[in-house]
Amino acid sequence: MRLKHFNIDPGAQIFLACSDTSRLRILNLILTNGEMCITDLEQILEFTQTKTSRHLLYLKNSGILTSRKINQWAFYQIKDEVFDLVKQLLQWVSRDAVMQQDQQVFINMYINRELSLNKLKMKPLTVP
């Protein structure tokens, strides 16, 4: 779904939400990788849980993000209605060295997580 009509008030909210470096880093990771868990964002960005939650709540209240819960985990993604606008806003920012380093940390974490899962599948746990 695309943003067909742009109203000034919701538009201002989106631009205000994108005026913070931390929120831009969060949005760039979610835009690049799709849905992301808050705990992954904390580790990648080296933020506290409080700081991460505060920024995610701000982005959610601005109408940019939506979330879903699975057990105790919350997963965030960009709303379909504003996806194209956010993608265009972040297009030039994503080339920044900090943004690229964030993405590399995510890739390394993902690879390590996959390796750990494969090791668990290959070696069954033994009960003493």
User: Which tens digits make up the pLDDT trace of 15-56?
Assistant: 778 788 999 999 999 999 989 999 899 999 999 999 999 999
Task: Report the C-alpha gap between 104 and 112 in whole angstroms.
Answer: 12
36-37, strands of its sheet edge to edge: 36-37, 73-78, 65-70
Q: Residue 1 falls within a domain, yes or no?
A: no
pLDDT in tens, 56-81: 999 999 889 999 998 888 899 999 98
What SS3 class is residue 5?
coil
Lowest-pLDDT choice from 6-10, 30-34, 98-102, 106-110: 6-10
Q: Residue 112 falls within a domain, yes or no?
A: yes
78: domain CATH number?
1.10.10.10
- For the chain, what is the domain count? 1
pLDDT given at position 15: 79
- If one compares 114 and 45, the residue with the highest pLDDT of the two is 45
Q: Residue 103 falls within a domain, yes or no?
A: yes
Domain that holds residue 76: 8-122
Whether 7 has a pLDDT exceeding 90, the answer reads no
- If one compares 7 and 47, the residue with the highest pLDDT of the two is 47
